[in-house]
Amino acid sequence: MTAEDPEPMRPLLGMGAAVGIGVVVGVATAFTLVRVGAPLHWTVVVAVPVVALGVLAARLPRATDIVWAAPPSLFSTATSGHASTLASRLAEAAIDHDRFTVRVQPRLRRLVEARLRRRHGVHDLADPRARALLGPELHRLVTDPAATLPEPTRLAELLENL
């Protein structure tokens, strides 16, 4: 996977666990319907779609995962929407440190590593040349778990110098 490739969205659970959850939800639904006096055939008719919905819900990708795709080559309203979404994600990451360290920092790190590899032949951020090439502030931003997202103008300067 390169820095330009979108990261695949992974389901919350594997298929076996999803089916297990679906069956548990379906059985609970059927049990509840039987307890309130519904006929057996209606219980089955209602429980089967509930099982399917339970499996589907367990197999859906995480709702907050972002598909990071390359920007479109031509400017359009879709491009401005993409930029708007990115801006809001960065704003959320500036407020929520966990969001920054889990979602933004790893992507920045991959972009920085790809640029260092392509332009300077440096394959690891632990290499002393990486720190010299990036500068202490950008190096800390992509490697230190305690780093915080800088102001947007400063982030733009750091990335521009990359």
- Give the DSSP per-residue string, 76-115: -HHHHHHHHHHHHHHHHHHH-HHHIIIIIHHHHHHHHHHH
Angle between helices 105-120 and 136-143 in degrees, nearest 10: 130
How far is residue 130's CA from residue 112's CA, in Å, rounded to a whole number?
A: 10
How far is residue 97's CA from residue 85's CA, in Å, rounded to a whole number?
A: 18
How far is residue 39's CA from residue 45's CA, in Å, rounded to a whole number?
A: 10
Number of other residues whose CB lies within 10 A of the CB of residue 34:
14
- Say which DSSP state 61 is in: B
Per residue of the chain (162 residues), what is the pLDDT tens digit? 444 444 555 666 778 888 888 899 899 999 999 999 989 888 889 989 999 888 888 777 665 555 566 655 665 555 455 556 777 777 787 888 888 888 888 888 888 888 888 888 888 888 888 888 888 898 898 888 888 888 888 888 888 877
How far is residue 161's CA from residue 110's CA, in Å, rounded to a whole number?
A: 16
Q: Say how far residue 115 (Cα) sits from the centre of its chain.
A: 22
Evaluate whether 113 touches 119 at the Cβ level (below 8 Å). Answer: no
Domain boundary assignment for the chain: 15-59, 86-161
